[in-house]
Chain A
Amino acid sequence: MKSKTDLMADLYKETDTDPHELQDPEVAHLVIEGNKVLGMQGVPGFHVDVRELEDGVDIKVKLDEGTKLRKPVHLCFGLYSDTGVQRIIMNVDIGKNSQISLLAHCVFPFAIDVQHIMDAKIRIGDGARYSYFERHIHSPKGGVKVYPKAVVEIGKKAHFKTEFELLKGRVGLIDIDYETICEDDGIVDMTARISGRDDDIIKVKETANLKGENARGLLTSKIAVRDRARAEVYNKMTATGAYARGHVDCKEIVQDDGVAVAIPIVEVHHAKAHITHEAAIGSVDSRQLETLMSRGLSEDDAVELIINGMLSE
């Protein structure tokens, strides 16, 4: 049996981040493998409480009013074995006028049959800023099913930003379901960047309800599918507040027998609100492809470069 610290180091090594960062006393962190806490550190004003469940953990996070964390909080959720379930229940309470950025790595490097279920409730107090960057590392076999689900309440003048990205390995199944509601002058900004192949399945469902006056929203999806992979993007933005403004942007590149579906829904309930949407689905642009090929890149290398560019945009 590996020691906790060894397991933590192994898990962390997969993320290509510097493990020394976790030793920085100013960096709060939480590392969970399966349903075990491998490492945990709070910082003043930031409190974490973890309860073990049979198949995961129940986490309570609280950031005190007015606390501004300079350094990002590191979260790492993983399963080192090839089979199993990890359920994460998260309750996050962000105090008024505070500020926090979280970098979450979700690591399933050897998965053959793994499920990762995240169920988060996030309340962002008035004037607070909350950023959540979720980076996934999956096995090359595609044996991961991830179900990230979040309900986010964004207070007045609060700012919620999240980015979901698959860094390494195959998708398997990713089924994102984020629901946000935004009060006066609040901002929601959600991005997903995922590239699927073989028989991967990508589902993205992001909802933004711009309820408050002058609330603003941006939903961005950048997806690529090749082989027989399938992607479905359902983005919905509703504006009920006066002067609420938003944009839904979906770009999907389809290669081989991949299938991409985009269903943007925009709904405006106030004559002074304004929402736009743009969806572009298609193969790699032939002009881009031929330009790179005329510089000597093979077709495959050219496609890869174009897709990586599109995903990183």
Chain B
Amino acid sequence: MGVLEAKNLKLQLNGKAILNNLSINFWDGHIHAVVGPNGAGKSSLAAAIMGLSGYRGFEGEVIFEGRSIKEMTIDERARAGITLAWQEPARFEGLTIKEFIKASAKDKSDEAIVNVLKQVGIDPVEHMKRAVDKTLSGGERKKVELASILALKPKVAILDEPDSGIDIESIERIFDAVRILKEGGTTVIMITHSLAVLDHAEHAFLMCDGQVVDQGGIGKIRKYFEGKCLTCDHKNLPLQEIGGQK
């Protein structure tokens, strides 16, 4: 059953069509991947679903658990059960990791916060009191972001490029966290242009040029990458521009 659905989304920014009559339906409890080349509109779709400023003026509908969320503010959507981990997480001067996670946590106890930090591979003793600021690496900030989402226990978590900035050694921790989210009943949507991430999904959508051009099992969607998108008649981008190797 679909938990989150977008119908005929049309979004223009600065006169340019970003989402071109896009429709997508995310089934409940799955780990989905939304893949596609850079500039396909993946992050814009996430922003439209979350209701971020600048991405609210679209045509079409976003339906969550059977009702339209189009008029809801970001926090109303979040309290309904949707959250988003940014491709580039924000920095918060002076706000400690503990305070940041506690702000979103269902269970605000120290034990619960320690637990989610361990789940993403961050040493709680060393990090609880550190600020979520420029002294953290990009990868550390991604992990803290993910920890706050584990603490939030949302119904739907959209993770935009969950592997970007993460070193090879800790990438498995990210996938562990995704599994923990799923086990807790969260529907996970991973936005990616990396094959490694795609391989950890159960179902995938291929986006190109602001549209969903295909969907199905991982094996099938993977073929687009292997075939250099040859079966996709929107753009024939070479492998290195859409593949996982950076």
Segment at the interface with B among A97-105, A109-117, A182-190, A295-303: A295-303
Q: How far is the CA of A66 from the CA of B89 in the complex (A)?
A: 50
The reply to whether the CB of A313 lies closer than 8 angstroms to some CB of chain B is yes
- Is the CB–CB distance between A290 and B94 below 8 Å? no
Nearest Cβ in chain B — how far from A49, in angstroms? 40
Chain B 91-108 interface residues, beta-carbon cutoff 8 Å to A: 91-95, 99, 103-104
Q: Which secondary structure characterizes the binding site on chain A?
A: helix
The reply to whether the CB of A50 lies closer than 8 angstroms to some CB of chain B is no
Chain B 75-98 interface residues, beta-carbon cutoff 8 Å to A: 75, 77-79, 82-84, 86, 89-95
Q: How far is the CA of A291 from the CA of B152 in the complex (A)?
A: 13
Q: Which has the most chain B C-beta neighbours within 10 Å: A285, A309, A311?
A: A309
Chain A residue numbers with a CB within 8 Å of B99 are 305, 309
- Is the CB–CB distance between A293 and B75 below 8 Å? yes
Chain A residue numbers with a CB within 8 Å of B77 are 294
Taking a contact as CB atoms closer than 8 A, the residue among B52, B84, B92 that contacts A288 in the complex is B92
Bitwise interface map of B from 110 to 135 toward A, beta carbon under 8 Å scored 1, else 0 = 00000000000000000000010100
Chain A 266-313 interface residues, beta-carbon cutoff 8 Å to B: 285-288, 290-299, 301-302, 305-306, 308-313
Nearest Cβ in chain A — how far from B234, in angstroms? 30
Taking a contact as CB atoms closer than 8 A, the residue among A285, A293, A305, A310 that contacts B73 in the complex is A293
- Is the CB–CB distance between B152 and A296 below 8 Å? yes
Chain A residue numbers with a CB within 8 Å of B79 are 296
- Is the CB–CB distance between A295 and B95 below 8 Å? no
Closest to B79 in A: A296
Bitwise interface map of A from 210 to 244 toward B, beta carbon under 8 Å scored 1, else 0 = 00000000000000000000000000000000000
- Is the CB–CB distance between A294 and B74 below 8 Å? yes
Chain B residue numbers with a CB within 8 Å of A285 are 90
Q: Which has the most chain A C-beta neighbours within 10 Å: B91, B93, B103, B145?
A: B93
- Is the CB–CB distance between A312 and B94 below 8 Å? yes
Q: How far is the CA of A291 from the CA of B104 in the complex (A)?
A: 10
Chain A 248-278 interface residues, beta-carbon cutoff 8 Å to B: 251
Do A313 and B131 contact each other (CB < 8 Å), given the known contacts A291-B90, A296-B79, A298-B75?
Answer: yes
- Is the CB–CB distance between A288 and B75 below 8 Å? no
The reply to whether the CB of B148 lies closer than 8 angstroms to some CB of chain A is yes
Chain B residue numbers with a CB within 8 Å of A308 are 94-95
- Is the CB–CB distance between B92 and A297 below 8 Å? no
Chain B residue numbers with a CB within 8 Å of A309 are 92-95, 99, 131
Chain B 56-86 interface residues, beta-carbon cutoff 8 Å to A: 73-75, 77-79, 82-84, 86
- Is the CB–CB distance between B93 and A313 below 8 Å? yes
Chain A residue numbers with a CB within 8 Å of B229 are none
The reply to whether the CB of B50 lies closer than 8 angstroms to some CB of chain A is yes
Chain A residue numbers with a CB within 8 Å of B245 are none
Q: How far is the CA of A301 from the CA of B92 in the complex (A)?
A: 15
- Is the CB–CB distance between A310 and B74 below 8 Å? no
Q: How far is the CA of A288 from the CA of B79 in the complex (A)?
A: 18
Taking a contact as CB atoms closer than 8 A, the residue among B93, B103, B131 that contacts A292 in the complex is B103
- Is the CB–CB distance between B94 and A295 below 8 Å? no
The reply to whether the CB of B14 lies closer than 8 angstroms to some CB of chain A is no
Closest to B47 in A: A290
- Is the CB–CB distance between B92 and A295 below 8 Å? no
Taking a contact as CB atoms closer than 8 A, the residue among A288, A297, A306 that contacts B104 in the complex is A297
- Is the CB–CB distance between B52 and A295 below 8 Å? no
The reply to whether the CB of B53 lies closer than 8 angstroms to some CB of chain A is yes
Chain B residue numbers with a CB within 8 Å of A301 are 103
Do A296 and B53 contact each other (CB < 8 Å), given the known contacts A285-B90, A306-B95, A309-B93?
Answer: no
- Is the CB–CB distance between A297 and B75 below 8 Å? yes
Closest to B93 in A: A313
Nearest Cβ in chain A — how far from B239, in angstroms? 32
Chain B residue numbers with a CB within 8 Å of A296 are 75, 78-79, 83, 104, 152
Q: How far is the CA of A303 from the CA of B99 in the complex (A)?
A: 14
Spell out A's residues near B (CB within 8 Å): 251, 285-288, 290-299, 301-302, 305-306, 308-313
- Mind listing 16 A-B residue pairs with CB under 8 Å? A285-B90, A288-B91, A291-B90, A293-B73, A294-B84, A295-B148, A296-B79, A296-B104, A305-B95, A305-B99, A305-B103, A306-B95, A309-B94, A310-B93, A311-B94, A313-B94
> Which 9 residue pairs are nearest across A and B when measured between Cβ atoms?
A313-B94, A295-B104, A309-B95, A309-B94, A293-B74, A296-B78, A287-B90, A293-B75, A291-B90
New contact pairs (6) apart from A288-B90, A291-B145, A301-B103, CB-CB < 8 Å: A294-B74, A296-B152, A308-B95, A309-B93, A310-B93, A313-B133
